[in-house]
Chain A
Amino acid sequence: MLVHRQARFGLLHDWGMRIGVLLFALVVFIAVFGGQLSSQSPYATVGIPGAAPGGGHLLGLDFEGRDVLARVLHGGVSTLALAASATVLVYALGISFGLLAGYSRSVIDPLLMRTVDVILSIPSLLLMLLFVTGLGGGRPVMVVAAAVVLFPGAARIVRSATLEVSTRGFVEAAVARGESTLATLWREVLPNIVPPIAADMGLRFSWSIILISSVNFLGLGIRPPEPDWGLLISENLVILPSNPLAVVAPAAMIGLMIIGVNLICDGIIRALSRGDR
């Protein structure tokens, strides 16, 4: 009772959570507004490839002599936007399939769960690459591919939460008084499966970032000369000896963003387990 309320207020009293929110906010800010902050063009060659920091170039120059800072500031928005769209799609699919499977207990359930098993028996990055092989590495393809890879897990979580909730008295009471399936799901089930979903959603967002930036890193997604954090790392690996910052800076951005998201998820899970007691 009381504990529940404390847990909600307690979210920001949690140190891990605070750091997570801070990191995430910082990286998102850079990704979204970085383009406007940068005074230099991310495409213009301005000096010797792989030049170390200096001469107005805080992070030095990349393998084609472009300003690394400008490219880092411009390179976050693509991954962030793709991962966010993928997460939305993941949950649009995950919630519909999960609710359906968990609530109907008809043929849909085993059918869906077997499909999930099949998708989960292929390593996720490999699955991404299969789509890219067949459809090319365009942005829509990456979003859809990441969604297909990640939604089964989400559907599974939604399904088991739904299964658990739908045996409770208040749901049965709704069924017994003849509420429509949609109304029951919307009013009785959905509001009560939000907590486990919230934590999982964060994790899936960080997995979307990983998958999409991995594809970009492998050079199979976003094409040069577009700046993208994943791509920046791989294209600049050749100049690592002369200007390591060209590699380390984008790697750090991706790393900090994911650590931030994971810390937030951890905080949510901790808060939930406190609330349960």
Chain B
Amino acid sequence: MTTTTESVPALELRDIRIELGSGVPVVDGVSLTIRKGEIVGLVGESGSGKTTTALSIFGLTGNALRLAGGEVVLAGQPLRDEAAFRRARGRVVSYVPQNPGAALNPSLRIGSAIDDVLSAGSADRSLRAHLLDCVGLPSDRSFVLRFPHQLSGGQQQRVCIAGAIASGPSLVVLDEPTTGLDVVTQARILRELERLRDREHVAMLYITHDLAVAAQIADTIAVMYAGELVERGPAPTVLRTPRHPYTRGLMASTPDHVRRRTLEVMQGIAVGVGGRPEGCSFAPRCPQVLETCVTEHPALLETSPGHTVRCPEWRRTPPMEWATLRLDAARDAPLGGAANRSRPVALEVRNLRAEYPGRRGNLTVVRDVSFTLEQSACLALVGESGSGKTTIARVIAGLHPIAAGEVLLEGEALASYASRRTVEQRRQIQIIFQNPAEALNPRASVGAAIARPAQLLRGLTRSEARAEVSRLLEAVRLPARFAARYPRELSGGECQRVAIARALAANPSVMVCDEITSALDVSVQAVVLDLLRDLRRRTGLSMIFITHDLGVVATVADEVLVLEQGTICEQGETGRVLMDPQHPYTRSLLAAAPSLSDSIAEWESVAAGRPLSSDVVMQGPP
């Protein structure tokens, strides 16, 4: 809107409260101001209320919810009724979705889709070419006549962004806009957004669960927990000196590929809707909790100009010392490159090829892949979707046929299918899958799920297996009473830990973990990764860890294997590959992956008034 002046903020949320029909608050007391040309990163884990807050700006709260209090002021105009909200939608505020593939009308061509938003915002249609240019898309005829399904995920998201800025809104709300995209595309989209802010002075509310992304894009960071803002301030201030124990905990849980370190684990699980305690919502998990925290609800306090925190004890929050968080020596030592070359080999893959049946002949998804997994080592397979990493995992587990080459367990070639392998071979290799919701049979109790492999593969009797279940639950840090529970009573992280216990029940020597943390929140991921590390140290288990997240690789793996379209493009000791990548593909992946510590190091050096030196950035394990 042309009437907006510099002094009028693009958005003011005043004390927003959103309730369930029963009156239970989902979002409570959220106040937020976004200036013109500012990007605010709204950070929080699932269920923290960040999307609900964002939707309230549009006056749409979803089926069971209602806006129970507070005020939305867009570009100086308070929106008080549905008509006002309707006028604002698409003109003053617009939305970029998480999943562009599902958010674009499948039967509208790209051009028409943008024209629709343009005419809704009563803007000139001739702007279309300019808009597409703004987000780095071509505007020629053949492109605008395409349908959404003919575009890549990144292109679809750019179309959505072009649509969102079409009518020159004061504010663009972006809801996890890069979560479904690969890192290289994500980096490109983030650059486009920064450019848009700089050139068009668009204000943005960027919702994300990923602190590293927020650090990279946001000017201001707002952290939500259990429906409340717990910390807010300029990004450099908040991330260099986090004052809320939750913010600090999130940072300490976030894996980083530039500075390898052990993750710190936050205790407990996030409170659900309606489960908020009387005092501070974070009190049950807080390491610095006081008695007053349990009884008194904390207010937002200003710690420095523009930096507010909902914790009266913020002075006691320990600073984030990146150095102290470095990988501990105990784990680092045996994992050094040349030192352990003599270790026996647990599993070897030789010239593996794997195929999927396609419409025109077979499609090769894994080509000539060879690697060895040493005993009690952890090997990470990294690559983007479609790189063949999951197929390799399935081949090893006996779920996908070997087209050529061989897989050797302790020197012995394995049959393609699990059913043709010996009981001993099946016992030694265990696999854990990505989706926690589908990891466990909903109709079997946790105890039954864990007992089954122990009985089938180790020949334990029913009562022996029952005793084993308690031991294994303890090993994955779950109480023994969980044996009687059913999967629907567990959280995602708990399901995944039961799946780990089920794999451990076979007493395996090789554990294949296929993206087992990618569906989990970072704090839960930290718990699972910590658990796995502990298990490895105690049992000498070897692990193949499949992931697309380089930070996770840095945290768990001794060796890494980078896959590109089914072939290995780089392979080596993790520290070496991350610090000194040789292959251009590895380099592009590393360059694109956001790093929290990098952003902080950059701010530190700016604050210290010295230019960024390469040794600060590349600081890693020796």
Enumerate chain A interface residues (CB-CB to B < 8 A).
1, 4, 168-173, 175-179, 187-188, 191-192
What is the CB-to-nearest-CB distance from B155 to chain A, in angstroms, rounded to a whole number?
Answer: 28
A120 to B449, CA, bound (A): 40
Asked if B443 and A191 make an inter-chain contact with CB atoms under 8 angstroms apart, the answer reads yes
C-beta contact mask, B398-441 vs A, less than 8 Å → 1, else 0?
11000000000000000000110101001001111111001111
Residues on B with beta carbons closer than 8 Å to the beta carbon of A192: 441-443
Residues on B with beta carbons closer than 8 Å to the beta carbon of A169: 432-435, 438-440, 499
Given contacts A175-B419, A176-B429, A178-B457, 5 further A-B contacts (CB under 8 A): A1-B488, A172-B399, A177-B426, A177-B453, A178-B418
Nearest CB in chain A to that of B425: its residue? A178
Asked if B441 and A191 make an inter-chain contact with CB atoms under 8 angstroms apart, the answer reads yes
A169 to B444, CA, bound (A): 14
A191 to B443, CA, bound (A): 7
What is the CB-to-nearest-CB distance from B275 to chain A, in angstroms, rounded to a whole number?
Answer: 12
B506 is an interface residue with CB less than 8 A from chain A: yes
Asked if B499 and A175 make an inter-chain contact with CB atoms under 8 angstroms apart, the answer reads no
Residues on A with beta carbons closer than 8 Å to the beta carbon of B442: 192
Asked if B418 and A177 make an inter-chain contact with CB atoms under 8 angstroms apart, the answer reads yes
Residues on B with beta carbons closer than 8 Å to the beta carbon of A187: 441, 444
Nearest CB in chain A to that of B396: its residue? A176
Residues on A with beta carbons closer than 8 Å to the beta carbon of B421: 178
Asked if A168 and B489 make an inter-chain contact with CB atoms under 8 angstroms apart, the answer reads no
Q: How many residues of B contact A (CB 8 A)?
A: 33
Residues on B with beta carbons closer than 8 Å to the beta carbon of A171: 441
Nearest CB in chain B to that of A172: its residue? B399
Asked if A170 and B441 make an inter-chain contact with CB atoms under 8 angstroms apart, the answer reads yes
Asked if B418 and A176 make an inter-chain contact with CB atoms under 8 angstroms apart, the answer reads yes
Across the A-B interface, the 9 shortest Cβ-Cβ residue pairs: A169-B433, A168-B438, A191-B443, A169-B439, A170-B441, A176-B397, A178-B426, A169-B438, A176-B418
Nearest CB in chain A to that of B435: its residue? A169
B502 is an interface residue with CB less than 8 A from chain A: yes
A116 to B127, CA, bound (A): 53
Asked if B489 and A173 make an inter-chain contact with CB atoms under 8 angstroms apart, the answer reads no
Contacts A1-B488, A4-B488, A169-B499; A176 near B431 (Cβ below 8 A): yes
A121 to B435, CA, bound (A): 39
Residues on A with beta carbons closer than 8 Å to the beta carbon of B441: 170-171, 187-188, 191-192
Residues on A with beta carbons closer than 8 Å to the beta carbon of B499: 169, 173
What is the CB-to-nearest-CB distance from A105 to chain B, in angstroms, rounded to a whole number?
Answer: 10
Asked if B506 and A177 make an inter-chain contact with CB atoms under 8 angstroms apart, the answer reads yes
- A-facing residues in B482-513 (Cβ within 8 Å): 488-489, 499, 502-503, 506
A168 to B433, CA, bound (A): 9
Q: Which of A170, A177, A188, A191 has the most CB of B within 10 A?
A: A177
Residues on A with beta carbons closer than 8 Å to the beta carbon of B503: 173
Sampled A-B contacts (30; CB under 8 Å): A4-B488, A169-B434, A169-B439, A169-B499, A170-B438, A170-B439, A170-B440, A170-B441, A171-B441, A172-B431, A172-B433, A173-B439, A173-B499, A173-B502, A173-B503, A175-B399, A175-B418, A176-B398, A176-B399, A176-B418, A176-B431, A177-B418, A177-B453, A177-B456, A177-B457, A178-B418, A178-B421, A178-B423, A187-B441, A192-B441
